[in-house]
Amino acid sequence: MTRLDRRRMLQLMAAGSAGLALARPGARAAQAPEESLAALAAKRGLIFGSAVSTPQLDDPAYLGLVRQECAAVVAENAQKMYAILPEPEAWDFGGADALAEFAARNGLDLRGHALLWNHPDYLPDWVMETEFGTAAAAEDFLRGYIGRVAGRYAPQIYAWDVVNETLDPETGELRDTPFTKALGPQVIDIAFDAAKAAAPGAKLAYNDYMSWEDGHETHRTAVLRLLERLLAQDAPVTGLGIQGHARWTDREAEFSPARQKAWRGFLDEVTGMGLDLYVTELDVNDGDATGPDAVRDAEIAAYTKDYLGLMLDYPQTKEVLTWGLADHDSWIQAFVDEGELVRRPLPFDDEYRPKPMREAMAAAFRAAPQRS
Ligand code: XIL
């Protein structure tokens, strides 16, 4: 445990069950859980946190919940290239700075996401329309961008998702962007190198959504080959970010022994390379679940417990972050079609009351083996 971890753990333990009373009307302090998820995780040497969006920074009750439960926060969107550099030279650190200030004011650790989301749908339009012409021009731009962003938040940011989702899950190939066009696979090496230079003390992750589900075999293999290649080139990668956006379909099928075996095989290979694991964006899309909320919540909770149980079995799993805390604000709601049920993917409901998923997470943290 680092000094920072120990200090944070002592703070959390001192805060004990008092936590913060929730300010939102209808949410009673009596419902505040006995021990925060952050404290339970810290006892096992784990970091627990959540994504926070820029609009949520104007919601005091939501921030109360974040302070109550989290040891770390990550910007849901504010540190992405499309937020920081929406037009050429139009740097905008407003949202990213606001979250960094919130974290600093409240003694929360700050995770960084993501220096290069090398995905055609999520790069700024102007970047997608750019022809770099030469490899050197693309490299200059990328080093300049990453150096400026990672440098601005060093040393506050303890871990960065350096490259996000650069592999096409269908083909296993690099996604086609102006960066890959100009630089080929070297784009990833350059991003890690630039991140290390600007944030030498931070953990540096490759982050992606390969999972245990059927159909993810090609994606998993591509991630393994990428990590192997990076390590062979001495790239400063410290771990794999596993987004953990799960889709609940059916409990038995979802986390079947066969799927668990395939997933463990993958995790064994990653950890066998000496890399850590970070669960970076946990949520459970319950789009296929039916029935009353209580039934759906119980299914989601059971699934979360199984999943985290497996992940935390690996002492290399050092962090768990959810992609938000409360259902109504989840990004997943944007995909709900008319006539479908509103999703319940996160540990708190829209009144910020804890759901069974929260208890499942607490139980998984309590049961997790101690890590250093
Ligand atoms: C999502 C945000 O939650 C949305 O608000 C945004 O519109 C798109 O991005 N994988 C990632 C995250 O790495 O950055 C994504 O976040 C969710 C999937």
pLDDT (tens digit, 9 = 90+) per residue, 37-52?
999 999 999 999 999 9
- Residue 164 CB–ligand 1 contact under 6 Å: yes
pLDDT of residue 33: 60
Name the least confident of 13-17, 158-162, 200-204: 13-17
What pLDDT band is residue 17 in, cutting at 50, 70 and 90? very low
State the pLDDT at residue 21: 34
Please provide the DSSP assignment of 318-369 as one string.
Answer: EEEEES-SBGGG-GGGGGPPTTSPPP--SSB-TT--B-HHHHHHHHHHHHSP
C-alpha 76 – ligand 1 centre gap (Å): 7
Mean pLDDT calculated for residue range 247-255? 78
Tell me the pLDDT of the chain averaged across its residues: 91
- What percentage of the chain reaches a pLDDT higher than 90? 84
Omega before residue 114 within 30° of 0, cis: yes
CA distance 77 to 82: 8
Tell me which CATH code domain 6-367 carries: 3.20.20.80
Task: Give the pLDDT band (50/70/90) at residue 339.
Answer: confident
Q: Which residues of 315-341 are buried (b: 16+ CB within 10 A; e: fewer)?
A: bbbbbbbbbbbbbebbbbeeeeeeeee
Q: Is the Cα dihedral 157, 159, 160, 164 positive or negative?
A: negative
Q: Give pLDDT, residue 213.
A: 86
Residue range 247-251: mean pLDDT, rounded: 81
155: CB partners within 8 A, 6+ apart: 199, 201, 202
* Contact assessment for residue 287 and residue 334, using Cβ atoms and an 8 Å cutoff: no
Which pLDDT tens digit goes with each residue over 84-138? 999 999 999 999 999 999 999 999 999 999 999 999 999 999 999 999 999 999 9
Q: Which of 3-7, 88-92, 262-266, 361-365 has the lowest mean pLDDT?
A: 3-7
- Token pair of 5, please? 């971890």
Q: Assign 255 a pLDDT band (cuts: 50, 70, 90).
A: confident
Cβ of 76 closer than 6 Å to ligand 1, yes or no, is yes
pLDDT for 358 beyond 50: yes
Q: What is the dihedral of CA 261, 47, 92, 121, to 10 degrees?
A: 10
Band (15; pLDDT cuts 50, 70, 90): very low
CA 163 remoteness from chain centre: 12
| 172 vs 27: which has the higher pLDDT | 172
Spatial distance between the Cα atoms of 342 and 282, rounded to a whole number of angstroms: 18
CA atoms within 13 A on the CB side of 267: 23
Atom 7 of ligand 1: nearest residue by CA position: 331
Q: 30 alpha carbon to ligand 1 midpoint, in Å?
A: 33
Residue 7 has which token pair?
A: 């200090």
Please report the atom of ligand 1 found closest to the CA of residue 53: 5
For ligand 1, whether the C-beta of 68 sits within 6 Å is no
CA of 51 to the centre of ligand 1 (A): 10
Average pLDDT, stretch 13-30?
A: 36
Q: How confident is the model at residue 357 (pLDDT cuts 50, 70, 90)?
A: very high
Q: Which of 45, 27, 17, 33 is nearest to 358 (CA)?
A: 33
**Rounded Cα distance, 224 and 215, in Å:** 16
Window from 13-22, 23-32, 44-53, 257-266 with minimum mean pLDDT: 13-22
Under the banding of pLDDT at 50, 70 and 90, the label for residue 167 is very high
The single-letter DSSP state of residue 80 is S
Q: Which residues contact 90 (CB under 8 A, 6 or more apart)?
A: none
| pLDDT score for 76 | 98
Backbone angles phi and psi of 162, in degrees to 5: -80, -50
321-338 pLDDT, tens digit each: 999 999 999 999 999 988
Indicate the pLDDT class of residue 233, thresholds 50, 70 and 90.
very high
11 C-beta closer than 6 A to ligand 1: no
Q: What is the mean pLDDT of residues 308-324?
A: 98
Q: Is the CB of 118 under 6 A from ligand 1?
A: no
Phi, psi values for residue 15, rounded to 5°: -65, -30
**Residues 305, 230: Cα–Cα separation, whole Å:** 32
CA neighbours closer than 13 Å in the CB half-sphere of residue 212: 24
Whole-number Å distance between alpha carbons of 321 and 231:
25
- 74 vs 202: CA distance, rounded Å: 14
The answer to whether the CB of 36 is under 6 A from ligand 1 is no
pLDDT of residue 34: 72
